[in-house]
Amino acid sequence: MIDKTKRRSLDIDNGHLDLDHPDAFDPDVEVPGLARTPLGTEPSASDIASGQPPSPPTPETTGLDELTRERDRLRDQLLRQAAEFDNYRKRVERERRDQTDQTVVDLLQHLLAIVDDFERALRADARDEPEAYRRGVELIHKHLLDVLRRRGVKPIEALGTDFDPHVHQAITQELSPTHRDGEVIEELRRGYMLGDRLLRPAMVKVAKSS
């Protein structure tokens, strides 16, 4: 019986290790002439091919491995963040597009209601009550202006003001001793603003003193 208080050994008969021996694969058993390789230091394929013993890890290789792992971690993190940002950008664009489409739909629905009013007015006989018919058309016009106003559209005040090339388009000039030079004396087509943005200038007639 092998003394377990000492490091055990196996004999090799005729230069061959008896693999049937119960202690043949015991890590605590020493085999004469056969060195066991510690775990974690197995030789690489190149070491086996060259017949050279495995090289122990050095601080340089350990540091390089750590840098490689850190590089891979940062690269994966960057790729995830890039994917998340791309998804966020697509979501914002989709929400903005949906919001714009909904705004257009709302405006068109209000305009279609006004078209319905005009169609009813066209079917009516204006000869019986011309004044009532006119009031009805004026209500439709007022309804249309209200829809535009709620969307930020407002008319440009032109008549009686000084000519402003930023919002007025002078179609003609007329001598008028009763008006100051450069005064808008007639509005030929109304202009409109969308907030601070010019939608179209007002076409006007401008007075000149001489």
For 2-40, the pLDDT digits (tens) are: 444 444 444 444 444 455 555 555 555 555 554 555 544
Domain-by-domain residue ranges, the chain?
Answer: 63-151, 155-210
- 3-29 burial code (b ≥16 CB/10 A, e <16): eeeeeeebeeeeeeeeeeeeeeeeeeb
Q: Which amino acid does the sequence have at 200?
A: R
Tell me the pLDDT tens digit for each residue of 170-206: 999 999 989 999 999 999 999 999 999 999 999 999 9
Tell me the pLDDT tens digit for each residue of 37-92: 554 455 555 555 555 555 666 666 777 888 889 999 999 999 999 999 999 999 99
Q: Report d(CA 32, CA 86) in Å as an integer.
A: 65
Q: At what angle do helices 59-123 and 130-150 cross, to 10 degrees?
A: 170
And the tokens for 183? 């005064």
- 33-61 burial code (b ≥16 CB/10 A, e <16): eeeeeeeeeeeeeeeeeeeeeeeeeeeee
Task: Assign a CATH topology to domain 155-210.
Answer: Nucleotide Exchange Factor Grpe; Chain A, domain 2 (2.30.22)
For domain 63-151, say whether CATH 3.40.30 is its number: no
| Pairing status of strand 8-9 against strand 29-30 | parallel
And the tokens for 59? 């601080």
